Amino acid sequence: MSSSSRESAEGAGWGPAERGTYRQSMPAPDRRERISWLDPRMLWAARNGVLASWFGDPTGATRSRWVAQRESAGAPADKVIRRDDPERFSFLVIGDTGEGGEAQYAVVPGLLEAGRDTRFAVIASDVIYPVGSADDYAAKFFRPYRDYPAPVYAIPGNHDWYEDLGAFMRVFCDDAPALPPGPAPRPLTRAWLRALLWHRPR
């Protein structure tokens, strides 16, 4: 058997498993959201990135407010997660996980097999598409990765920020309470125009 993914399916880690068995773990078809960036409804839901580039990006101020809230709740000021791991260990790094469709679910069985002895996983960006909504975590995060036995840490991507990071913080930061509303922008300013069009959490 070849050990190279360029020469054989076995070399890529595709063993004799029955093709398509991942579908058994997916939500029912009527409960799946199809992500298409050609769909105007999807583009409208994810409009905050464009609005931020036109009218000023509020992410930095929101991030500072989240950091202050977590520090007041006792989170370490140096923002370091301290773990009791051995000198040598392995962990998973995953990125752009949250579409919730076949493209995501198809890789999960192999990922879980490869990571069964890892100490933890890190999601490097975009946990949930299209806008990081709390409503989407069940099908796009909890369900596909429910059999991963170790802790999962995450770094938010731009899509996780489209709802001001509220759902992400509830899931990954000790069920952090929602931020209180920020100061209202002055009328007829760029920030005021942005606020009129901004996508708000569902």
**Can you give the three-state secondary structure of the chain, one letter per residue?**
CCCCCCCCCHHHCCCCCCCCHHHHHCCCHHHCCCCCCCCHHHHHHCCHHHHHHHHCCCHHHHHHHHHHHHHHCCCCCCCCCCCCCCCCCCCEEECCCCCCCHHHHCCHHHHHHHCCCCCCEEECCCCCCCCCCHHHHHHHHHCCCCCCCCCEEECCCHHHHCCCCHHHHHHHCCCCCCCCCCCCCCCCCHHHHHHHHCCCCC
pLDDT score at 120: 97
pLDDT score at 7: 75
pLDDT score at 13: 63
Cα four-point dihedral sign 131, 134, 135, 141: positive
- Does the predicted model carry a pTM greater than 0.85? no
Tokens encoding 83: 């773990």
pLDDT score at 119: 97
pLDDT score at 148: 94
Contacts from 21-27 at CB under 8 Å and sequence distance 24+? 21/109, 22/102, 22/105, 22/106, 22/108, 22/109, 23/102, 23/105, 25/105, 25/108, 25/143, 25/144, 26/102, 26/105, 27/100, 27/139, 27/143
pLDDT score at 180: 86
* Beta bridge pairs of residue 94: 123
pLDDT score at 38: 85
pLDDT score at 21: 75
CA distance 4 to 8: 7
* Beta bridge pairs of residue 154: 123
Q: How far apart are the first and last CA of the chain?
A: 51
The residue written with tokens 């199809």 in the block is 34
Q: What domains lie within the chain, and their CATH numbers?
A: 43-197 (3.60.21)
Identify the segments of the chain with pLDDT beneath 50. 1
CA distance 202 to 135: 8
